[in-house]
Amino acid sequence: EIVMTQSPATLSVSPGERATLSCRTSQNVNSNLAWYQQKPGQAPRLVIYGASTRATGIPARFSGFGSGTEFTLAISSLQSEDFAVYYCQQYNNWPPYTFGQGTKLEIK
Amino acid sequence: EVRLVESGGGLIQPGGSLRLSCAASGFTVSSNYMTWVRQAPGKGLEWVSLIKSGGSTYYADSVKGRFTISRDNSKNTLYLQMNSLRAEDTAVYYCAKDYDSSGYFDYWGQGTLVTVSS
């Protein structure tokens, strides 16, 4: 099973600033990595797939980078609606699909 | 418009059984990979099970032998039969559609809460 490690657990950033979230995998997953956003009481929402491709309707301020075992989700010029928990997920080696433990992006 | 609506959650005693449903609209369940993901209270996401369009099924080790994923093509509905439930199965259960058999999930339902407690 591929283990996913996200850092930091909590990230405090001011609106308008840039946020950088990290995800590390225990094995090479190539570019088979997705990012999801989850707000309280809501289902997850796909943000990035293929490590760097934005999902439908996701603003250009969201960017994904990386391949292999190191990945980054960057959000430039944070808006109020961006504060949420973000999860990475690998889909290179399955079953099982595995998720990171999440990074909570909070308002500073 | 793609829509997924889960139902069937509730309070159940340890050792009991429950069947979750996920009614789909806007696409055909049988033509897609479909998955169940759960989230324990205050915790992260955990993949539970997947059914391929061809009918093959896969399970997390934590539920293998206790849970069964299936679908009813005539009702365009996905199911999760959960037997021998344990306290650690307490979670919100989401159904999700796999994008083009890729392994990531582009549409999610709103979730249904299963609480296993005496």
pLDDT exceeds cutoff 90 at B98: yes
Alpha-carbon distance B102 to nearest alpha carbon in chain A (angstroms): 8
Q: Tokens 């990531």 map to which residue?
A: B104
Q: Which residues on A lie below 8 Å from B108 (Cβ)?
A: 43-45
> Touching check for B110 and chain A: CB below 8 Å?
yes
Confidence band, pLDDT 50/70/90 cuts, at residue A7: very high
pLDDT band at A34 (very low <50, low <70, confident <90, very high): very high
- Each residue's pLDDT tens digit, B14-67: 999 999 999 999 999 999 999 999 999 999 999 999 999 999 999 999 999 999
Pairing of strands B45-51, B112-116: unpaired
Structure tokens at B107: 């549409």
C-alpha angle with apex A106: A104 to A108, nearest 5 degrees?
145
Q: Are the Cβ atoms of B59 and A87 closer than 8 angstroms?
A: no
Give the pLDDT confidence score for residue B30 in this predicted structure: 96
A57 pLDDT more than 90: yes
Rounded to an integer, the average pLDDT of A39-43 is 97
Does the beta-carbon distance from A97 to B50 stay under 8 Å?
yes
Average pLDDT score, chain A? 97
pLDDT of B107 > 90? The answer is yes
B20-24 contacts: CB < 8 A, separation 24 or more?
A: B20/B79, B20/B80, B20/B82, B20/B93, B20/B95, B20/B112, B20/B114, B21/B77, B21/B78, B21/B79, B22/B77, B22/B78, B22/B79, B22/B80, B22/B95, B22/B109, B23/B75, B23/B76, B23/B77, B24/B76, B24/B77, B24/B78, B24/B97
Position B79 pLDDT exceeds 90: yes
By CA distance, what is B99's nearest residue in A?
A49
Helix (H, G, I), strand (E, B) or coil at B87: helix
Of B94, B103, B109, the CB nearest to A91: B103
Q: What is the mean predicted confidence (pLDDT) over A86-100? A: 97
Residue B100, pLDDT > 90, answer no
